[in-house]
Amino acid sequence: MSTKRMITSEDLYRMHWVSDPAVSPENGATAYILKSVNDKQDGYITQIRLIKPDGGEDVPFAAGEQDAAPQWSPDGSQLAFLRKKGEANQVWLLPAHGGEAQAVTGLKHGVSAFKWSPDGTALLLRAEVPDDADEAVDGMSKDETKRPQEKIVDRIRCKADGVGLLNNRRTHLFIFNIASKSSEQLTDGAFDIGSFDWSPDGTQIAYTTKLPTEEFADADLRPTNDLYVISREGGEARQLTDGKIRISFISFIPDGKQILMLADDMSCGYATLTRIHLIPAEGGEYRALYTDLDIQLGHSCVSDMRSGAGTPPLYTADQKSVYIQVTQNGRVEIARFALDGSDFEIVAGGDREIYQFALAPDGSFVFAAADPLNPGDLYRMELSTGAETRLTDCNGELWSELELSLPEEFQFTTGDGWPLQGWIIKPVAFKEGTKVPAVLEIHGGPQVMYGHTFMHEFQLLAAAGFAVFYTNPRGGHGYGQKHVNTVRGDYGGRDFQDLIETVDHVLERFPFVDGSRLGVTGGSYGGFMTNWIVGHTDRFRAAVTQRSISNWLSFYGVSDIGYHFTEDQIWGNAWADFDKLWKHSPLAYVKNVTTPLLILHGEQDLRCPIEQGEQLFVALKRLGKQTQLIRFPEANHDLSRSGNPYLRTRRLSHIVRWFDEHIEK
């Protein structure tokens, strides 16, 4: 008889998460971030730990509790990292062989990212530059600073989820000299720095940004950006690209002759697959590699265990190939791409989510990976043999107490001939021969993917007696360009049909699922689709919509991305395409709703602002429908992944409660 217990929402407080592996070029020691919930259960502690070169001893390495982004110096003698004290992150340095960490930068608004120079004598920093408003505040008396200050908004890009209202500061590059402990601003102007990198000889710096063009007088409206190169000594930057691609990452090839760009040509809007592009460092035509490879480059798998993941491309020792993550068929894997375009292979894969990785001096990988029964640990893989060694077991004690349910993968073909991948999780206490209620989960995005990874929400529902099933309908990643592009202009069309056919397939294939006791839930795009579903079918006994979209007309103006996302995804705007936006709005079908609907929304969500949930709630209440709105104070769009831990547990508990109340067990 098993002595293990069911997972609870409060088990979140005991979970740990590993990330940001960084391997010393000196001796192969691995620094990484260990994240845990703080004692007040209202935030997180992030600490740097060190795994000794032999992979045995795992010890605390820095004394801070808000540390991030560890990077070894080129010679491995020092570890640089970001530490938050007060409101801003600064760069700190810690000797590799022990000692006290020291803050080395003191920029007014902190540092958002940094890179070591190739010779280890300097750091390239990305940071906000003080603006006129800062100078005005600096000149105020103490009493004046206590008064409320008006905010003058000139830019359409005036807010960002997780940040709030933006100021007029611009983000620029600085060079910090280690020896003199001084910083010099390298770039300046009415633009913001995106990706950046040093040339291998340290004399040039490449970066991406957006400047106004003849077509886009307002650079905030430009969907693409450009690559520039500037001398380390400053001066005028050279523009290398032609404004026709959207660049997400850049780095110099180790020989310094070319620059690699991860970019897309936006031929399918925001659904366009990312490709490797190469351009001569001195300027010239760029070319895309592996254009016949129908795979998304980078990390596009969703989980409620982390917010943001992925590792920039890393080069092989012989400098002839590059390692890049790829997203396909429910997996996130590491692939090697020959830089001459001749060869591609998966070097680390399997039914899991490899969410970050690093290269060791001996040619091995250290990577962070999660699977359906593990939120994530570090592993070392010998590239020559494929042999793996587990380096951490950060949730071993907690996991030894829990009974979890392993998802079963299934495949089926839709009525119009499209293959779909899905998974089903049986209730933890499932008994053969019985029928059980089930919940359909729908991911956000929609240009992301469910995969072989751990989901606390899914396991909690399985512990509560529900089967859980989920898939990647059209519009999601994992299948290639045609699949991910199909939903654009058709929200609530073929994607809705894919989900209904998934329900039909599950009921036919898994007879233990009771088709009369179904629930549905999802967040963001999944919340939109939940709202759409309850307005178009009564097959579900209960529904929970999370951080959702209900009205594209108002979303256009209130979301931090509404003005460009709506045009790209729905193919219209609020004044020229009123009927189209309303046609695709779940609020237009609110009279049809008979399913009890729970609405969960963060009050500081700027991606799908809470007015989206409020409109739906008011309409449902006015029509006498069964509904409830739960507001989460100070919570943004990332509540389920990185929000206040206490509110995360409350959110999970309300989801289970609603299904328990409205679906018979």
Residue position matching structure tokens 């969907």 = 223
Residues 621, 644: Cα–Cα separation, whole Å = 29
Residues 532, 511: Cα–Cα separation, whole Å = 27
Cα torsion for 280, 286, 291, 297, to the nearest 10°? 70
**Structure tokens, 485:** 């592009």
Residues 237, 90: Cα–Cα separation, whole Å = 27
Torsional class of 274: left (φ above 0), alpha (ψ -120 to 50), beta (otherwise): beta
Residue position matching structure tokens 């072989």 = 452
CB 191 within 8 A of CB 170: yes
Alpha-carbon separation of residue 217 from 220, 222, 247, 354 (angstroms): 9, 9, 20, 41
**Gyration radius of the chain over CA positions:** 25
Backbone φ and ψ of 337, nearest 5°:
-115, 125
Q: How many CB atoms lie within 10 A of CB 309?
A: 22
Pick the closest to residue 472 from 405, 546, 422 (CA basis): 422
Half-sphere exposure of 102 toward its Cβ, with a 13 Å CA cutoff? 8
Residues 83, 66: Cα–Cα separation, whole Å = 6
Q: Which of 299, 505, 564, 637 is catalytic?
A: 637
Pick the closest to residue 290 from 239, 221, 341, 214 (CA basis): 341
CB 90 within 8 A of CB 107: yes
Question: Is 524 known to be catalytic?
Answer: yes
Q: Which of 524, 554, 640, 642 is catalytic?
A: 524
Number of alpha helices (DSSP H) and beta strands (DSSP E) in the chain: 13, 41
DSSP string across 445-475: SSSSB--SS--HHHHHHHHTT-EEEEE--TT
Residues 30, 59: Cα–Cα separation, whole Å = 11
* Alpha helices (runs of H) in 370-493, residue ranges in sequence order: 396-399, 456-463, 481-485
Question: Is 662 known to be catalytic?
Answer: no
Residues 391, 22: Cα–Cα separation, whole Å = 13
Residues 246, 458: Cα–Cα separation, whole Å = 35
Residues 367, 390: Cα–Cα separation, whole Å = 10
Letter string b/e over residues 486-520, b meaning 16 or more CB atoms within 10 A of that residue's CB: bbbebbbebbbbbbbbbbebbeeebebbbeebbbb
Q: What is the DSSP letter of 298?
A: S
Q: How many CB atoms lie within 10 A of CB 178?
A: 17
In terms of C-beta distances under 8 Å and separation of at least 24 residues, what long-range contacts does 159-162 make, across chains too? 159/560, 159/606, 160/560, 160/606, 161/560, 161/605, 161/606, 161/607, 161/636, 161/637, 161/638, 162/606, 162/636, 162/637, 162/638
3-state secondary structure of 264: strand
**Structure tokens, 464:** 């509560």
CB 361 within 8 A of CB 23: yes
Residue position matching structure tokens 């997972």 = 7
Residues 596, 598: Cα–Cα separation, whole Å = 7
Q: Which residues are catalytic?
A: 524, 637
